[in-house]
Amino acid sequence: MKVCPCCGNLLIPKKVLAHYGRYIEVDQCESCGGIWFDKYELYSLNPDEVEKFSIEKGVNSSCQPSYCPNDKNLLRLLKDPIIPKDVIIYYCDQCFGMWLPFDSLKRYKEYQKTRIQKFKEENRGELPKDLEKKIEILLKKGEEDLKEQNDLEFEYKMSQFVSIVLLILRILSYFIKK
C-alpha cells in the first residue's frame, strides 16, 4: 500500500473514469484529501470525475508533500507557466507521478475543460467521422480483449497504449485537415 506524502496515512485506491470510457486507479488520502496520480493518469482523468474525490473531512490544502509514495524520492513543485498559479502540483522526477491537493485538482480540471472548449471554438474542426468510428471500433475491441484478461498491469499498460495511439491519431487528423 502507498503512504500519503503529506500526512503519512495510507492512500486508498479509487477506480475512476478516464477519457474514452476506460478506467484508471488513483490513490487518495482520506485524511488530508490529497490525490496521487501515477504517470499520465492526471491528464487522462475525466474532468467530470473530480467530485468523486470529495471527502467529508476537512481538506488540508496547505500540507506540503515530501516523498513519492512509489519510490520515496523527493517530490518537487511543478512550475509551468501554462498551469494557473493557484494550482499546486508536486511531481516525482523518477516515476513522473503527481500529487495534488483536492482543491488544486478541481481547479486544474476546470482549467483543462476551459482550454479544451476554447481550442474547439477556435478550430471549429472535428475529426473526420470515419476516423472517429475507427477509434470507437478499436476501443471496443480493446475492451473485449481486456475483459478476457484479469491481469491489472496488462489493463493499465493497454489503456496507456490506447491513449497514446488516440492522441497521435487526433494530432495527425488535425494536420491532415489543414
For 51, what's the count of Cα atoms within 13 Å in the CB-facing half-sphere? 1
pLDDT category of residue 166 using cuts at 50, 70 and 90: confident
Q: Is the pLDDT of residue 152 over 80?
A: no
Q: Which amino acid is at 165?
A: V
Instruction: Give dist(CA 77, CA 164) in Å, integer.
Output: 26
Tell me the average pLDDT across 77-83.
91
Break the chain into its structural domains and give their ranges: 11-123, 129-177
What would you measure as the largest C-alpha separation in the chain, in angstroms? 51
What pLDDT is recorded for position 13? Answer: 95
Of 8, 70, 79, 77, the C-alpha closest to 41 is 70
> Is the pLDDT score of 49 beyond 60?
yes
pTM: 0.66
Each residue's pLDDT tens digit, 102-142: 999 999 999 988 887 887 777 665 556 577 777 777 777 76
Whole-number Å distance between alpha carbons of 3 and 157: 23
